[in-house]
């Protein structure tokens, strides 16, 4: 009886550990700062965060982007395909403004709050992947590649402003609960 109890306890612990590691692989975070921008850095008091969760079936990403104290009004926000301190192409638009709209082929991109601080939430699927085709990510199709890039540390989130059109704050996307400091 003691062996059976021990065996059940071991199986339960393994199941909980597996579920926790699976959840970590389906959550993504980034701390956005001007020091992380390229080319850069950008001298700014702005900060922000990106948080996302992948659906259980792996077909949708629910996300929230928050930014505070930008030097100028926000223009857009994205997830890019690129390593730390490299500039990469846009994979997924997170928000847009009238001055910087998402491509017409990218459905349902929410509007950024047109202020110096704000929060925007949305979701993205394969239909929202805009590339970068030149980097091997097919627009409208390669959602799995975008997720893989985020899991492997080959993606960053950033927020652009009218004063820093190349990006004012950015941070590497990390899988799990950890954020870049």
Interval 127-151: pLDDT, tens: 999 999 999 999 999 999 999 999 9
115 in any annotated domain: yes
- pLDDT of residue 30 exceeding 70, the answer is yes
12 in any annotated domain: no
120 in any annotated domain: yes
- Count up the domains in the chain and report the number: 1
DSSP letter at 161?
A: E
What is the pLDDT averaged over residues 24-32?
Answer: 93
The confidence score (pLDDT) of residue 155 equals 98
* Residue 66 structural domain: 27-175
95 in any annotated domain: yes
End-to-end CA distance of the chain: 49
The confidence score (pLDDT) of residue 107 equals 86
Q: What is the mean pLDDT of the chain?
A: 88
For residue 115, how far is the Cα from the chain centroid?
Answer: 21
5 in any annotated domain: no
129 in any annotated domain: yes
The confidence score (pLDDT) of residue 19 equals 40
pLDDT bucket at 39, cuts 50 / 70 / 90: confident
6 in any annotated domain: no
The confidence score (pLDDT) of residue 2 equals 59
The confidence score (pLDDT) of residue 84 equals 86
CATH number, domain at 143?
2.60.40
The answer to whether residues 37 and 65 touch, using CB atoms and an 8 Å cutoff, is no
Q: What is the pTM of this model?
A: 0.85
135 in any annotated domain: yes
The confidence score (pLDDT) of residue 1 equals 57
pLDDT digits (tens, 9 = 90+) for 42-101: 999 999 999 999 999 999 999 999 999 999 999 999 999 999 889 999 999 999 999 999
The confidence score (pLDDT) of residue 40 equals 81
pLDDT bucket at 9, cuts 50 / 70 / 90: very low
Output the CA–CA distances (angstroms, integers) from residue 88 to 1, 32, 83, 104, 166, in the order listed.
59, 16, 8, 21, 11
Beta strands in the chain (DSSP E): 27-33, 47-54, 61-68, 74-81, 89-95, 118-124, 155-161, 169-172, 174-175
């Amino acid at each position: 009886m003691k062996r059976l109890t021990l065996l059940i306890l071991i199986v339960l612990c393994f199941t909980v550990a597996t579920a926790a590691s699976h959840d970590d692989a389906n959550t993504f975070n980034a701390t956005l700062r001007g020091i992380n921008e390229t080319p850069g850095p950008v001298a700014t008091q702005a900060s922000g965060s990106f948080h996302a969760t992948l659906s259980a079936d792996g077909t949708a990403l629910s996300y929230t982007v928050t930014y505070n104290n930008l030097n100028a009004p926000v223009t857009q926000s994205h997830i890019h395909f690129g390593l730390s301190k490299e500039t990469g192409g846009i994979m997924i638009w997170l928000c847009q403004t009238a001055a910087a709209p998402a491509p017409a082929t990218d459905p349902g991109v929410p509007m950024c709050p047109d202020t110096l601080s704000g929060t925007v939430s949305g979701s993205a699927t394969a239909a929202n992947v805009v590339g970068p085709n030149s980097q091997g990510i097919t627009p409208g199709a390669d959602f799995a590649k975008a997720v893989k890039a985020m899991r492997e540390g080959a993606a960053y989130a950033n927020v652009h402003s009218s004063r820093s059109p190349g990006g004012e704050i950015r941070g590497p996307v990390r899988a799990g609960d950890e954020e870049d400091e």
